[in-house]
Structure 1
Amino acid sequence: MSQNKMGGMEKKGSHGERTKGGLITMPFIFANEACEKLAVVGFSANMITYLTQQMHLPLTKAANTITNFSGTASLTPLLGAFISDAYAGRFWTITVASILWQMGMTSLTISAVLPQLRPPPCKGEHQVCQEADGGQLAILYGSLLLTALGAGGIRPCVVAFGADQFDETNPKEKTKTWNFFNWYYFVMGASILVAVTVLVYIQDNVGWGWGLGIPTTAMFLSIITFVVGYPLYRNLDPVGSPFTRLLQVCVAASKKRNLRMVSDPNLLYENDELDASISAAGKLLHTNELKFLDKAAIVTEEDDIKSSQAPNLWRLNTVHRVEELKSVIRMGPIWASGILLITAYAQQGTFSLQQAQTMDRRLIKSFQIPAGSMTVFSMSSMLITIALYDRLLIRVARRFTGLERGITFLQRMWIGFVISILATLVAGFVEVKRKQAASAYGLVNSSHSTIPISVLWLVPQYSLHGIAEAFMSIGHLEFFYDQSPESMKSTGSALFWTAIAFGNFVSTFLVSLVHKYSAGPDGSNWLPDDNLNKGKLENFYWLITLLQVVNLIYYSFCAKFYTFKPIQIRMKEVDTSEEDGLIQLSSRV
């Protein structure tokens, strides 16, 4: 029997003994992610309705509350990734974060059930409403903060933890890692689909207590399921703070900034033993970009590397550690390009939903689709696109490109950007059509009347956003996982979520800016608080379209000149002979 442990990851040998990880762990991991999405989307998809109709907040304040919450929930993954990579490991980070999420959802459910935690119903013929007071908002915001902290531990770790279950050094499992991102997003999309249909319907027609209580219960069950799967998981041990290592390289390069660069990169400091715990899955090789950082690996007499002790890492670093920092820096421009796509996508939960509330939402005489359930069209188109991409498009593209994954993740992102531009362009024309209908029926001044135009006019923009996400978001996620340093996979996944965070914050900033500077002396506004029919939402959509066109040009430039990290990976070649069953390792770059 042979055992080989690399970086805390348990590897077992042959003779019929089952290796940890693999497909058998997916139900336990996906159950946790599905319930987290069921809970967050079950509330956030219809949150604009809850905030405006239950808490009686003005439209722009409610819209900004949603994007601020979404942004915070997407920013906390940096904290969760740091804790996971440095101290706790992915399993325990996910477990504790799930408990925090459970506490937040329980608090939200209680606030929805107890009437004293909400303002009284609107009164009179003119629906005079009292806005939620400070105490009621404090409970709401406190609950949202707990769920945001929980999301911070779940989101960056679940995707990395799931990918950890497939050993990339094993040729038989490498392709499964690529497929995993499609499966992950498909499961996430399916749970969102349930949330925006079943849960939103319950919230609108049965009550918010049931609408929040169901996902709260589902989250509790998912925590139990995830923990039960512990004996099956392949776990990586934390290897210390990645941020400390990055800072050490910066400090060392700064101290040696006046040194002349060595003529031969082979003279830079290497220490495989020192880097063993952070390069078990692959050693980063030297690149010619950002050469000023290479000075952190120049050996001087003061460094005393002949000593048996490790060098002072605040003065001298290995090439691998320098390349870790270079990898993170190189990902920056690609990371930034994803922000505006999220800004465009965020409007589905705010202004697109408000459009739907003013339109005829009857699909048949006896059924009216809730406005918060319109996301079903974006989720459905996303799921269909993912299935077609994974089962068909990859195989077709492979014949033309010769690439195992069909197209690169950078090409996949580019396609998503283009489709997102079409989505917001179409949204502007649909808003023009909606306002024309309101004018034709004399309903421009009636903010609460239903305009006799079918809500299905919104389907194209929702569907295009779903297709764009299937290409861009999954490509973005693949990019961060693949290009992150091997010991910083959670941190890489966190970068994906921080792009979402900044996208939501940019949306908040853009809405506030447009609301302030589009106001006319006659009280007109592109984004009015009280009556969308009097606004110019189409101009806002076209402004986002223009910004996305500029962003696409920027992304194309960044993608063209992006340098992929060079890595030396020891690929496993399993000897199937019955003599010793040993795993032989070979090096490939």
Structure 2
Amino acid sequence: MATMKKKDLNVERKQGGLITMPFIFGNEVGEKLAVVGFSTNMISYLTGQLHLPMTKAANTLTNFGGTGALTPLLGAFISDAFAGRFWTITIASVLLQLGMISLTISAILPSLRPPACKGGAACKEADSGQLAFLYVSLLLSALGSGGYRPCIVSFGADQFDENDPRQKVTTWKFFNWYYFCMGASILVANTVIVYIQDNAGWGWGLAVPTFAMFVSIVAFVFGYPLYRKLDPAGSPFTRLVQVSAAAYRKRKLGRVSDPSKLYENEILDAAISVGGKLVHTDSIKFLDKAAVVTEDDDPKAPNPWRLSSVHRVEELKSVIRMGPIWAAGIITITAAAQQNTFSLQQARSMDRHLGPKFQIPPASMSVFTQTSMLATIVFYDRVFVPASRKLTGLDRGVTFLARIGIGFGISLLATLAAGFVEIRRKEAAAAHGLTDHGAAAIPISVFWLAPQYCLHGVAEAFTSIGHLEFFYDQAPESMRSTAPALFWLSISAGSYTSTLLITVVHKYSAGPDGSNWLPDDNLNRGKLEYLYWLITLLQFFNLIYYIICAKMYTYKPLELRKEKDTQDGVELVGNANA
């Protein structure tokens, strides 16, 4: 028996590690080429091919982005409760593949698009049937992304044992290089794929990322024997509800003065605390009542709806404590969402020539975002972390909360700069008599937009990776798929907030003369800079809110378990505060 346990442990140790990264990163590249390959330039497809008004097209795009970022909650639940991360990623990738095939078909078949515009006649907007086919394709893609996104980053981090000090450092480096790999694939999508779409047509422009997605699925499945695969530990949401129900049932009990008397059951919690046990904290004390043993409770065979262990109570506390930090990311996502909508429309109206013959596709302006993000990740990992480590003594240089806060501040500067650039663009239009010619190219270089795109990229390198680190580290072990889902959920909330904000501004900024901050037909007559500055003001108050939340935050108290060989195989001994 002892020999068998040792053998199983050795097999587990041989699995995972750096050897699995090519397969995992390869799958990430294919997914990003597929999703970003059409979403970045989708505003052009909706307005140019389906002839949707700009505001409707912008809201369609942000709604799709919001839905795509909302579905990870479903994917995370399936992964943590039933299927495990490997199979959830595989099935979700196939769903995404089907969505991409449908989108490619919609771009190839003329019957799925309205006829091309003729002369000065009004363009015919896509009918309900054509839009329905598009929406089904987008829904399949969103469902596929929903299963993929929350699992791939956690699955990659699973390949390293956080109880091993050497591998724990590698785990945090993984988040940087995972995001670097993702950014590099987005950069290719924003340049090569967008160029194909604008010059070779949307059929080829969608077929290429569809094929890339197929290759990535094959590569990911091929690496199956090498992966370190953790078994699902049951529905984490059910446990959270059970703790809430137990605390409510015992709400009339007095407060617990001695935490050592609260219910503990390491055997019951073994499957959900492999990496360590959560210990009691003094925050949210109401929930402690769920772990109070009364005369009606049987500690040997507890009813989870009446009695919860301290570990399970602390799981719920950890999720609740993450809430305010999660909410702070919404406004930053709202600000970044404008890059693929109104910033893109600004670029379309400006001089995009790079040499006498070549024009930069409007959607490729996000290359500045991705390039600056990639450069910042390298700088952060190679320069910033070693330098700050000497000052703070922290392995990561600064805490992930500090990293997120820096990103929030840079994002605010990006939105502020965007407002001033819009004023400069409209001044150039007025100087050349083009204010009333919304479709005319304004003789002002598109590179005026580069600073705001670059600042958004720098902000993303700090904020997004900081959020991924935060959610993965602070989420309960049994909710490691749910943790990245919270990251994507903030993106969903930010996208829907953008839709709501644009809708409200478009409605209530309308003047009696027909003027509007966000006109559908002529951006030169609008007040887009007011929208940017409104978002800047929201970001300022959000930054103050975040600083308060970060200072008040209580880190997850984890008691690590160390391994030693015994006659029975492996025994968990020793404690260390994480």
Shorter-chain TM-score bucket reads over 0.9
User: Which residue does the alignment assign to 1:286?
Assistant: 280
Letter in 2 for 1:274: L
Aligned residues: 576
The match for 1:86 among 81, 87, 99 is 81
**Cα displacement (A) at 1:106:** 0.1
Deviations 1:110-166 (A, max 9, x none): 000011100000111x25200000000000000000000000110000000000000
User: Which residue does the alignment assign to 1:115?
Assistant: 110
1:134 aligns with 2:125: no
Distance (whole Å) between structure 1 residues aligned to residue 147 and residue 248 of structure 2: 33
User: Which residue does the alignment assign to 1:470?
Assistant: 461
The answer to whether the Cα contact below 8 Å between 1:88 and 1:238 also exists between their aligned partners in 2 is yes
Distance 1:10-1:427 versus aligned 2 partners, 3 A rule: farther
User: Which residue does the alignment assign to 1:297?
Assistant: 291
**Cα displacement (A) at 1:74:** 0.3
The answer to whether the Cα contact below 8 Å between 2:183 and 2:374 also exists between their aligned partners in 1 is yes
The answer to whether the Cα contact below 8 Å between 1:38 and 1:191 also exists between their aligned partners in 2 is yes
SS in 1 for 2:10: coil
The answer to whether the Cα contact below 8 Å between 2:561 and 2:572 also exists between their aligned partners in 1 is no
User: Which residue does the alignment assign to 1:211?
Assistant: 205
Distance (whole Å) between structure 1 residues aligned to residue 153 and residue 9 of structure 2: 21
The answer to whether the Cα contact below 8 Å between 1:378 and 1:467 also exists between their aligned partners in 2 is yes
1:525 aligns with 2:516: yes
SS in 1 for 2:560: strand
The answer to whether the Cα contact below 8 Å between 1:170 and 1:572 also exists between their aligned partners in 2 is no
**Cα displacement (A) at 1:231:** 0.2
SS in 2 for 1:72: helix
The match for 1:19 among 14, 19, 25 is 14
Distance (whole Å) between structure 2 residues aligned to residue 587 and residue 570 of structure 1: 6
Distance 1:252-1:489 versus aligned 2 partners, 3 A rule: same
1:255 aligns with 2:249: yes
Distance (whole Å) between structure 1 residues aligned to residue 390 and residue 5 of structure 2: 38
1:52 aligns with 2:47: yes
The answer to whether the Cα contact below 8 Å between 1:170 and 1:573 also exists between their aligned partners in 2 is no
Letter in 1 for 2:193: L
Letter in 1 for 2:235: S
User: Which residue does the alignment assign to 1:323?
Assistant: 314
User: Which residue does the alignment assign to 1:504?
Assistant: 495
**Cα displacement (A) at 1:585:** 5.1
The answer to whether the Cα contact below 8 Å between 1:527 and 1:535 also exists between their aligned partners in 2 is yes
SS in 2 for 1:453: strand
The match for 2:187 among 190, 193, 199 is 193
SS in 2 for 1:587: coil
Distance (whole Å) between structure 1 residues aligned to residue 273 and residue 78 of structure 2: 19
User: Which residue does the alignment assign to 1:276?
Assistant: 270
Distance 1:369-1:566 versus aligned 2 partners, 3 A rule: same
Distance (whole Å) between structure 2 residues aligned to residue 374 and residue 3 of structure 1: 57
Distance (whole Å) between structure 1 residues aligned to residue 571 and residue 81 of structure 2: 30
User: Which residue does the alignment assign to 2:390?
Assistant: 399
SS in 2 for 1:366: coil
Distance (whole Å) between structure 2 residues aligned to residue 135 and residue 229 of structure 1: 41
Letter in 2 for 1:40: V
**Cα displacement (A) at 1:448:** 1.1
SS in 2 for 1:283: strand
Distance (whole Å) between structure 1 residues aligned to residue 562 and residue 17 of structure 2: 17
The answer to whether the Cα contact below 8 Å between 1:84 and 1:157 also exists between their aligned partners in 2 is yes
User: Which residue does the alignment assign to 1:349?
Assistant: 340
The answer to whether the Cα contact below 8 Å between 2:256 and 2:288 also exists between their aligned partners in 1 is no
The answer to whether the Cα contact below 8 Å between 1:93 and 1:153 also exists between their aligned partners in 2 is yes
Distance (whole Å) between structure 2 residues aligned to residue 110 and residue 450 of structure 1: 32
SS in 2 for 1:588: coil
User: Which residue does the alignment assign to 1:181?
Assistant: 175
**Cα displacement (A) at 1:363:** 1.4
User: Which residue does the alignment assign to 2:63?
Assistant: 68
Distance (whole Å) between structure 1 residues aligned to residue 347 and residue 9 of structure 2: 53
Identity %: 68
**Cα displacement (A) at 1:100:** 0.2
**Cα displacement (A) at 1:261:** 2.1
1:487 aligns with 2:478: yes
**Cα displacement (A) at 1:10:** 6.2
Distance (whole Å) between structure 1 residues aligned to residue 562 and residue 46 of structure 2: 53
User: Which residue does the alignment assign to 1:228?
Assistant: 222
User: Which residue does the alignment assign to 2:160?
Assistant: 166
Distance 1:558-1:2 versus aligned 2 partners, 3 A rule: farther
**Cα displacement (A) at 1:3:** 6.5
**Cα displacement (A) at 1:4:** 5.4
Question: What is the TM-score normalised by the length of structure 2?
Answer: 0.97
Distance (whole Å) between structure 2 residues aligned to residue 4 and residue 186 of structure 1: 38
Letter in 2 for 1:368: Q
User: Which residue does the alignment assign to 1:586?
Assistant: 574
Letter in 1 for 2:214: F
Letter in 2 for 1:31: G
Q: CA RMSD in A?
A: 1.8
**Cα displacement (A) at 1:11:** 3.4
The match for 2:147 among 143, 153, 165 is 153
Distance (whole Å) between structure 2 residues aligned to residue 520 and residue 408 of structure 1: 48
The answer to whether the Cα contact below 8 Å between 1:10 and 1:234 also exists between their aligned partners in 2 is no
**Cα displacement (A) at 1:366:** 2.1
Deviations 1:366-400 (A, max 9, x none): 21100010000000000000011011110000011
Distance (whole Å) between structure 2 residues aligned to residue 465 and residue 262 of structure 1: 48
The answer to whether the Cα contact below 8 Å between 2:5 and 2:570 also exists between their aligned partners in 1 is no
SS in 2 for 1:223: helix
Distance (whole Å) between structure 1 residues aligned to residue 491 and residue 8 of structure 2: 34
The answer to whether the Cα contact below 8 Å between 1:164 and 1:234 also exists between their aligned partners in 2 is yes
Distance (whole Å) between structure 1 residues aligned to residue 476 and residue 281 of structure 2: 14
Question: What is the TM-score normalised by the length of structure 1?
Answer: 0.96
User: Which residue does the alignment assign to 1:382?
Assistant: 373
Deviations 1:514-564 (A, max 9, x none): 000000001100000011000000000000000000000000000000000
The answer to whether the Cα contact below 8 Å between 1:171 and 1:571 also exists between their aligned partners in 2 is no
Distance 1:2-1:368 versus aligned 2 partners, 3 A rule: farther
Letter in 1 for 2:40: A
Distance (whole Å) between structure 2 residues aligned to residue 365 and residue 407 of structure 1: 47
Letter in 2 for 1:422: L
The answer to whether the Cα contact below 8 Å between 2:96 and 2:140 also exists between their aligned partners in 1 is yes
Deviations 1:266-323 (A, max 9, x none): 0000000000000011100000010000000000011022x4xx30000000000000
The answer to whether the Cα contact below 8 Å between 1:2 and 1:582 also exists between their aligned partners in 2 is no
The answer to whether the Cα contact below 8 Å between 1:171 and 1:572 also exists between their aligned partners in 2 is no
Deviations 1:392-420 (A, max 9, x none): 11000001111111000000001000000
**Cα displacement (A) at 1:586:** 3.4
Distance (whole Å) between structure 1 residues aligned to residue 248 and residue 570 of structure 2: 46
Distance (whole Å) between structure 2 residues aligned to residue 551 and residue 10 of structure 1: 50
Distance (whole Å) between structure 1 residues aligned to residue 404 and residue 327 of structure 2: 13
The answer to whether the Cα contact below 8 Å between 1:200 and 1:211 also exists between their aligned partners in 2 is yes
Gaps of 5+ in 1: none
